[in-house]
Structure 1
Amino acid sequence: MLFFANPAAVWALLGLLVPLAIHLWNRRPGRVVPVGALRWLTAGANRRMRRLHLTQWPLLLLRLAVVAVLAAALLGPRWPRPLRRARPQVLVSPEVLGSAAWPLLRPRVDSLRRGGAALRLFGPGFPPLPDSTAARLQRRPAASPDSAVAADWFWPRAAEAADSFPDQPLYLFTTASLAHFSGSRPALPARLRWQLLPPDAAPRPWLQAAARPAADSLWLTIGRGDAAGSSFRRQRLAWPGQLPQQLRAPGLLPHQLRPDGAGFVIQVIDSPAAAVPVARPLRIGLGYDHSRRTDLRYVQAALRAAAPALPAGLRLSTRPAAQAAAFAADSLDWLLWLTDAPLPAELRRQVPRGLQVLHDAPGPGRAAPATVAFDDLSEATTRLLRRGAAPAGTTPRWLDATNQPALSWRRRGRGADFYLLTRFHPQWSTLPDDGQLPALLLTLLDPPTGPARPEARSLDARQLTAGSAPTTAAPAGAARPGFRDLRPWFALAAGLLFGLERVLASRRLSRPAA
């Protein structure tokens, strides 16, 4: 059956009136033949000239056919092709092939393949997966949950599969490990059926942090994860008399404590995993003057709130700016300088040796309301009410919504100078009141340095179906029709008819009139 893609173009058939009108009115004048008694023939000739009648029928029909074929081409004629079935695609991730669940899934996959489905690897390029390759991957031992997960994110990979196999049913089998589901969830078509498999096993407990709060003790922070989340516990060990020394804790792989420069590190024995540094109490000094007494109270409260999150706690000492030279004997890690007074020379000499100094904004500042989204804290914003100017030669660390620096810094040897372009005062910012100051100081004064913990949580299967994009594709195994476009053939026919019409017209013009 013939179909038309643009039925409204049927009005183009009115163009058939054009060659008909031209044919009727474009008449050649007859040849004058002098005969006798012309006065008897003139009236009859005029009557015959006034009658409209059709002549040159072949030429007229050709012209009408050219216009009709062109009008039919505008209608978009299509001829249905034989129905063909959409071939399903079965995509399997490498982790599934090496898991204990693959033998249980194999009968279902084989059933889909007998129905015409193609088996492919859920990876770059989606290569076909012959039985020999699947058997080789199945014999390969599954990756340890403690190992780092390759940056193969399933969300963009699934969207790529939907684009690579349009209008084809997709069956996707992957693990539910949350480590593979980074980023935003795309809109996936309903023809993609995704089955999640739980991980074979939870990762082994891992060493998250280590601290030496006293000379005779070692505290280990041990993490444990499962599909629901992660939990941590602390365990105290006696500081060994000789180093290096092997450490053992319940559920934890054997570790070794060894010296590393001026400190100590703990690392899994015979493993390339990153070493965990042994932290000591963070030593922080607070220098202030009388104009910053309100700022001092807020900072002291925030540091006390952040102390339990530090592996070894902190040691806080507070002195007026006039007595700040005594800080030189405390071997500080950080100095928070809450005063406009210059830094004493004894402390300036300690900055290249590793001291880090945080200066607040000097002077009265200027009113410049802005919002800051700290990149170290997720969804954390604060309001700046007044600000100072960034010193020349410093690099911005935090930027506000107007792309102006809120914190800048400059490295000096092993230490650095940080310049907060506001103050810890309610008239300068909302930091004292919005509850973010402890976490903000923690990320600045003690950034994480240990290895990234393994991700053991699983994705909720309900997130796979929420917000699926509507689709008009046929269901699995259903036949999908195809059409052959006939417009090129109609155009070719119109061209041939027009050429034939020109040949006949040229012969008519070259023939003398009777």
Structure 2
Amino acid sequence: MLGLLVPLAIHLWSKKEAKTIKIGSVQLLDESNSRQSSSIQLNEWLLLLLRMLIVGLVVLLMAGPQWRIKPNKKQITYLVEPSLAHHSSLVGLLDSLGESSRVLLLKQGFPEWETDMELPSEPMVPSYWQLVQRMDSLASDSIVVFTRAYAEGIKSRRPKTHKKIHWVVMESDTLAGKPFLAYQREKEMELVSLQGNGQTTYFKKQTLSDGFSVQEDSLKLEVDGNIQTIPVLDLDTVYVNIMADTEFETDRQYLEASFRALSKFLDRKIQVQSVDADVENEVGLNIWLRKENWEPKQGKWLIFKEDILSNKLIKESEQQNVYWLTSKLNTENTTEQHFTEQLLRLLDLDAAVTPSVTQYDQRQMDVAELKPNYVGEPKKKERATLLDVSQWVFWILVLLMIAERVTAYVKRQ
């Protein structure tokens, strides 16, 4: 609000002492000049007031103005997760509720629910706890939330609220034997199916012998009399290049042993090769075990850089796709710090599959785990039910800016 001093300072600065101009006669000056001078002074003060109001409203708008309203403790507000808005078991209930109570969508702004409203085909999972913090602005004291309670939507710390929130968790559809993707191995086709429900979700692998056909990068599979198209991923050989000096011979042997263990565990071929210089072909990982400084190059790199304070053998650097090997390898640290698992995360072999896995993640939270911390009735001085009035302040600001421009134009005239 100290910005209000700016238009005031400009106004006072412009009030300089008038210059005296000697003229021969003042007979032609009459009272109209005096009235015109008074009008100019009035416009100056009006301009000053308008400009100070504009600065004040800009500050108010940036602060997010809210108006305190008295909540209706008897009214119940119903919130529905967008993915449930057209749920067959809820449509009839929501129609009846809409006649007597407010039905809102569980998303930013809490828009009104309407029967014929269009929703995205793949709705985003709401951030439940972030929305709980905004529920204090709703007019009613009691809130019922219809939700799928996906674990993906639980982020940040458990919030506190003055509202009485009752969660109704709708069970997710069972995913029994839903084909997900297929892997093309050297001599066989492996199908991955998604199974489970809201409590457990897991993947089942099986080798296909017949009943399918492959077209380019897709698998045509007959399921319950219907033909489904499933993406096929080639399990190409993963190449690892190691560039090492003789003093790192032990470290190179530990690395090779770790990759052999990963290859057997993943049932995927990982070829480790020692090279004297950089090779141009694309590889999954390059490992630099040399005294000479490493110069930035393309690809993913693991570079030896000792760090006695690090609690991990593999540490991410500030550069993208560059990682530090923080200590020389031995039996003790490779076992205690699970070095092989760190290498697996570094290879990131499931990068192409991760987005699809996230899409089908339908794990649900238990109601007891989903509930926020209820802190009871708010005190008078605490923020209770507030109504966002930013939109009204914005339009008042627009009107004042128009009035300021008109007044400034009249003043120049």
TM superposition score category, shorter chain reference: 0.5 to 0.7
Q: Post-superposition shift, 1:460?
A: 0.6
Q: Post-superposition shift, 1:309?
A: 6.1
What amino acid does structure 1 have at the position aligned with 2:220?
Answer: L
How big is each residue's C-alpha offset from its partner over 1:371-414, in whole Å with a ceiling of 9 and x where there is no partner? 4xxxxxxxxx6278xxxxxxxxxxxx924xxxxx4xx467xxxx
SS at match of 1:86: strand
Judge conservation of contact 1:217–1:236 (CA < 8 Å) in 2: yes
What amino acid does structure 2 have at the position aligned with 1:178?
Answer: Y
Q: Post-superposition shift, 1:457?
A: 1.1
Could you tell me which residue of structure 2 aligns to residue 302 of structure 1? Answer: 258
Could you tell me which residue of structure 1 aligns to residue 127 of structure 2? Answer: 153
How big is each residue's C-alpha offset from its partner over 1:447-478, in whole Å with a ceiling of 9 and x where there is no partner? 5112332121111110234633233489xxxx
**CA 1:243/1:469 → structure 2, altered by over 3 Å: closer, same or farther?**
same
Judge conservation of contact 2:160–2:372 (CA < 8 Å) in 1: no
| Partner Cα distance (1:252, 1:153) in 2 | 39
Match of 1:358 among 283, 296, 301: 301
Q: Post-superposition shift, 1:207?
A: 5.3
Judge conservation of contact 2:73–2:142 (CA < 8 Å) in 1: no
Could you tell me which residue of structure 2 aligns to residue 338 of structure 1? Answer: 289
What amino acid does structure 2 have at the position aligned with 1:296?
Answer: R
Match of 1:432 among 307, 329, 334: 334
**CA 1:328/1:185 → structure 2, altered by over 3 Å: closer, same or farther?**
closer
Residue pairs, 1:165-176, within 5 angstroms: 165=139, 168-176=140-148
How big is each residue's C-alpha offset from its partner over 1:322-352, in whole Å with a ceiling of 9 and x where there is no partner? xx58x97998544434344899xxxx9xx87
**CA 1:424/1:122 → structure 2, altered by over 3 Å: closer, same or farther?**
same
Report the structure number with the largest CA radius of gyration.
1
What amino acid does structure 1 have at the position aligned with 2:147?
Answer: T
Could you tell me which residue of structure 2 aligns to residue 101 of structure 1? Answer: 89
Residue pairs, 1:93-132, within 5 angstroms: 93=80, 94-102=82-90, 105=93, 109=97, 117-129=101-113
Residue pairs, 1:71-220, within 5 angstroms: 86-93=73-80, 94-102=82-90, 105=93, 109=97, 117-129=101-113, 133=114, 135-136=115-116, 148-165=122-139, 168-178=140-150, 181-189=153-161, 191-199=163-171, 201-203=173-175, 210-214=182-186, 216-220=187-191
Q: Post-superposition shift, 1:424?
A: 4.3
Q: Does residue 234 of the first structure (1) align with residue 193 of the second (2)?
A: no
| Partner Cα distance (1:420, 1:294) in 2 | 18
Judge conservation of contact 2:145–2:168 (CA < 8 Å) in 1: yes
Q: Post-superposition shift, 1:183?
A: 1.0
Q: Does residue 284 of the first structure (1) align with residue 240 of the second (2)?
A: yes
Judge conservation of contact 2:193–2:204 (CA < 8 Å) in 1: yes
Compute the TM-score of the two structures, normalised by the length of structure 2: 0.57
Judge conservation of contact 1:90–1:109 (CA < 8 Å) in 2: no
Segments of structure 1 that go 5 or more residues without pairing to the other structure are 1-82, 257-265, 268-275, 372-380, 385-396, 400-404, 411-417, 475-514
Segments of structure 2 that go 5 or more residues without pairing to the other structure are 1-69, 381-413
Could you tell me which residue of structure 2 aligns to residue 313 of structure 1? Answer: 268
Q: Post-superposition shift, 1:227?
A: 1.0
| Partner Cα distance (1:456, 1:103) in 2 | 22
Query: How many residues are matched?
Result: 304
| Partner Cα distance (2:201, 2:71) in 1 | 51
What amino acid does structure 1 have at the position aligned with 2:192?
Answer: T
What amino acid does structure 1 have at the position aligned with 2:262?
Answer: A
What amino acid does structure 1 have at the position aligned with 2:164?
Answer: L
| Partner Cα distance (1:337, 1:153) in 2 | 42
What amino acid does structure 1 have at the position aligned with 2:207?
Answer: R
Judge conservation of contact 1:224–1:232 (CA < 8 Å) in 2: yes
How big is each residue's C-alpha offset from its partner over 1:50-98, in whole Å with a ceiling of 9 and x where there is no partner? xxxxxxxxxxxxxxxxxxxxxxxxxxxxxxxxx9953524123133332
Q: Does residue 221 of the first structure (1) align with residue 221 of the second (2)?
A: no
**CA 1:335/1:122 → structure 2, altered by over 3 Å: closer, same or farther?**
closer
**CA 1:162/1:254 → structure 2, altered by over 3 Å: closer, same or farther?**
farther
Root-mean-square deviation (CA, aligned residues, Å) is 4.6
| Partner Cα distance (1:470, 1:419) in 2 | 49
What amino acid does structure 2 have at the position aligned with 1:197?
Answer: V
Q: Post-superposition shift, 1:248?
A: 0.9
Q: Post-superposition shift, 1:235?
A: 2.3
Q: Does residue 448 of the first structure (1) align with residue 351 of the second (2)?
A: yes
Q: Post-superposition shift, 1:280?
A: 1.6
Larger CA deviation: 281-290 vs 88-97: 281-290
Q: Post-superposition shift, 1:156?
A: 1.5
**CA 1:86/1:189 → structure 2, altered by over 3 Å: closer, same or farther?**
same
Judge conservation of contact 2:256–2:272 (CA < 8 Å) in 1: no
Residue pairs, 1:19-38, within 5 angstroms: none
Larger CA deviation: 196-205 vs 245-254: 245-254
**CA 1:86/1:282 → structure 2, altered by over 3 Å: closer, same or farther?**
same
Q: Does residue 398 of the first structure (1) align with residue 316 of the second (2)?
A: yes
How big is each residue's C-alpha offset from its partner over 1:11-51, in whole Å with a ceiling of 9 and x where there is no partner? xxxxxxxxxxxxxxxxxxxxxxxxxxxxxxxxxxxxxxxxx
How big is each residue's C-alpha offset from its partner over 1:413-444, in whole Å with a ceiling of 9 and x where there is no partner? xxxxx4635344259xx962443422322232
Judge conservation of contact 2:213–2:220 (CA < 8 Å) in 1: no
| Partner Cα distance (1:252, 1:159) in 2 | 48
**CA 1:294/1:177 → structure 2, altered by over 3 Å: closer, same or farther?**
same
| Partner Cα distance (2:280, 2:130) in 1 | 55
**CA 1:359/1:426 → structure 2, altered by over 3 Å: closer, same or farther?**
same
| Partner Cα distance (2:226, 2:285) in 1 | 34
| Partner Cα distance (1:251, 1:444) in 2 | 40
| Partner Cα distance (1:108, 1:424) in 2 | 69
| Partner Cα distance (1:91, 1:207) in 2 | 36
Q: Percent identity?
A: 14
What amino acid does structure 2 have at the position aligned with 1:247?
Answer: K
Q: Post-superposition shift, 1:178?
A: 0.8
| Partner Cα distance (1:398, 1:183) in 2 | 24
